[in-house]
Amino acid sequence: MIEKYTNRILQGDCLEQFKNIPDNSVDMTFADPPFNLKKKYKSYKDNLEFQEYLNWCEKWIREMVRVTKPTGSIFLHNIPKWLTFYATYLNKLAHFKHWISWDAPTAPMGKSLQPAHYGILFYTKEPKGAKINELRYPHKRDRKQGFLIKDYGGKKYLLHKFGPLVSDVWTDIHRIKHNKKRDPHPCQLPIHLLDRLILLTTDENDIVLDPFSGTGTTAISAKRLGRRYIGFELDEKYAKISKEKLEKTEANFKLGETWVSFYLKKVVTIKHKDWEELEKYFIVPSPSKIIDYKKIIIRDKRYIPIDNNYSKINGSKVNKILETEIIKMSDIQQKLPIG
Ligand SMILES: C[S@@+](CC[C@H](N)C(=O)[O-])C[C@H]1O[C@@H](n2cnc3c(N)ncnc32)[C@H](O)[C@@H]1O
């Protein structure tokens, strides 16, 4: 039954689309809803009354929990203000794991502290038995000299060769700044942010559902990591762009047989348990103490997959629809924060 809806972007209202999805059928749900911040969406009014917005959110949050499998996870991305309400509601339906703080500048909210992170609530459907993987990301280094940012003193030889375990504060994933890397959408998320959530909670062929798919970030991440996807999107234009990009996306984010997240030709997230298998694809600093100034590098550039959606965007292969829209929307994109 669920197969009918997988690997598709379904255009329409998410509450209507959810009616087609059976209970306990999806491995991971992720939502990046409109933040009710008066954003210029094409077909949606982003300025509901306070309680009206929250009542609407409760409806789709309930649906997300309903369709998630007992081994599955639920992620909600928003500004902290709305997440405090989401958490109160979700605590009754699912099980809190983490508040992930994604370090990224956000819109000024008034004469108070400058908001500098988005939150991603991470809940599991059941208290036990959820599929969760430990992840690793590359050591943080000084951009000019390449030295490790943290001083580990005489303990450098104990460091993991690839990098530390991913914590609940993410400072290494940046908002999409360049127009050539984005679509005509006011709040597109970086794909490798979704790669990280997908590697955290799913395996190959699992199903990932995003009820506010936008221009298909979650679906593209799922596809290139060998997962199945379901996306709902109200706006016809965004759904069309997603479909075009998905057609060009390949399930190729792997080293050998192991799924990993790439960004700018580097591996940026791996599952901890895969390291033994992955190590052979890297030149690892030796002796281990030179890790202080010597990066781990991929052994052969041919291992790096081609991203058909953005790699040639300045060249002849650029999609003409995207090109014109990028120019038209560029001013808006410069000014607006995510969400
Ligand atoms: C914050 S954006 C999501 C962006 C997405 N994460 C991306 O990276 O492209 C929210 C999206 O939800 C869509 N939307 C708004 N109301 C909706 C509804 N009732 N059902 C489905 N989609 C809706 C908007 O058109 C918008 O594209």
Q: Is the peptide bond before 70 cis (omega within 30 degrees of 0)?
A: no
Global pTM reads 0.89
* C-alpha dihedral, 193 to 194 to 199 to 205, nearest 10°: -160
Q: In terms of DSSP bridges, do strands 254-255 and 258-259 run parallel, antiparallel, or are they unpaired?
A: antiparallel
Q: Residue 339: CB within 6 Å of ligand 1? A: yes
Q: For the chain, report the end-to-end CA distance as a whole number of angstroms.
A: 33
Judged by phi (left if over 0) then psi (alpha if -120 to 50, else beta), residue 6 lies in beta
CATH 1.10.260.40 is right for the domain spanning 2-335: no
Q: How far is the CA of 154 from the centre of ligand 1 (A)?
A: 49
Cβ neighbours, 10 Å, residue 311:
12
Ligand 1, atom 3, lies closest to the CA of: 214
**Contact call for residues 164 and 137 (beta carbons, < 8 A):** yes
User: Tokens representing 154?
Assistant: 């005489």
Instruction: Give the amino acid at 55.
Output: N
Helices in 118-252 by DSSP H: which ranges? 191-201, 217-224, 236-248
Q: How far is the CA of 33 from the centre of ligand 1 (A)?
A: 6
Q: Residue 75: CB within 6 Å of ligand 1? A: no
Distance separating alpha carbons of residues 222 and 55, to the nearest angstrom: 29
Distance separating alpha carbons of residues 91 and 260, to the nearest angstrom: 32
Q: How far is the CA of 339 from the centre of ligand 1 (A)?
A: 9
pLDDT by position in tens, the chain (length 339): 899 999 999 999 999 999 999 999 999 999 999 988 776 666 666 777 889 999 999 999 999 999 999 999 999 999 999 999 999 999 999 999 999 999 987 777 777 888 899 999 999 999 999 999 999 999 999 988 889 988 877 787 888 999 999 999 999 999 876 666 667 676 899 999 999 999 999 999 999 999 999 999 999 999 999 999 999 999 999 999 999 999 999 999 999 999 999 999 999 999 999 999 999 999 999 888 888 899 999 999 999 998 877 654 433 333 333 332 322 223 323 333 444
Distance separating alpha carbons of residues 220 and 251, to the nearest angstrom: 9
Sequence-distant (6+) residues with CB within 8 A of 318 are: 312
Which atom of ligand 1 sits closest to the CA of residue 238? 27
Q: In terms of DSSP bridges, do strands 228-233 and 254-255 run parallel, antiparallel, or are they unpaired?
A: unpaired
Q: Count Cα neighbours of 252 within 13 Å in the Cβ-side half-sphere.
A: 12
How do the domains of the chain map onto residue ranges?
2-335
Distance separating alpha carbons of residues 25 and 21, to the nearest angstrom: 7
Sequence-distant (6+) residues with CB within 8 A of 240 are: none
User: Tokens representing 167?
Assistant: 């914590």
Which atom of ligand 1 sits closest to the CA of residue 188? 8
Q: How far is the CA of 213 from the centre of ligand 1 (A)?
A: 5
Sequence-distant (6+) residues with CB within 8 A of 315 are: none
Q: State the angle between helix axes of 320-335 and 236-248 in degrees (0 to 180), rounded to the nearest 10.
A: 120
Q: Where are the beta strands (DSSP E) in 198-301?
A: 207-210, 228-233, 254-255, 258-259, 261-263, 266-271, 282-283, 297-298
Q: Residue 41: CB within 6 Å of ligand 1? A: yes
